[in-house]
Amino acid sequence: MTLIRFRDDQPTDEPPVTLEHFLDDAGTGAVRLEPGDDARALLPELGRVKLVEIAFPTFRDGRGYSAARILREAGYAHELRAAGDVLIDEVVAMRRAGFDALASRAPLDPAAVERALARFPYVYQKAADAAPPVWALRHG
């Protein structure tokens, strides 16, 4: 598995547990959300969450994007990791949705990831990242 992080802090070494286990164990700080899990169940617990790993079992399952957006909009600031079938084609969308780490089942070339992120310097709408939309820059 390839892990690419866009954060400067140390990654948590605690393995993520299922949402159910996380909610039952107050001493756990890392959780894994599967596609059928409701990210809103984590909102009351955001203060103790250090890592949220969101599963992408196939590239066709985009529910993880919604989970990431829910968590970022609620103020979650710690590591948000996309894990599983993460493809280079999805890197830009994942970063815009708020993911700051990628754990790909297949090897990802870090240089290719950087090229993908740099390919389009402007965005057209607001998202979980801090990139200002191009219209805001134009009408500054």
What's the pTM?
0.90
Buried b (16+ CB within 10 A) or exposed e, 26-45: eebbbbbbeeebebeebeee
The pLDDT of residue 34 is above 90: yes
Distance CA 49, CA 121 (A): 32
What average pLDDT does the structure give for the chain? 92
Q: Specify which residues 3 forms β-bridges with.
A: 103
- Which residues contact residue 75 at a Cβ distance below 8 angstroms, ignoring those fewer than 6 apart? 46
**Confidence grade of residue 140 (pLDDT, cut at 50, 70, 90):** low
pLDDT tens for 114-130 read 999 999 888 888 888 88
pLDDT tops 90 at residue 67: yes
- Per cent of the chain over pLDDT 90 is 75
Q: What is the pLDDT of residue 101?
A: 96
Tell me the domain boundaries of the chain. 2-139
Neighbours of 132 (CB within 10 A): 12
pLDDT at position 99 is 97
Give Rg (Cα) of the chain: 15
Q: What is the pLDDT of residues 81-124, one digit of tens each?
A: 999 999 999 999 999 999 999 999 999 999 999 999 999 888 88
In the chain, % of residues over pLDDT 70: 99
- Do residues 32 and 17 lie in contact, with contact meaning Cβ atoms separated by under 8 Å? yes
pLDDT band at 131 (very low <50, low <70, confident <90, very high): confident
The CATH code belonging to domain 2-139 is: 3.40.50
> 56: which 2 tokens?
């992408």
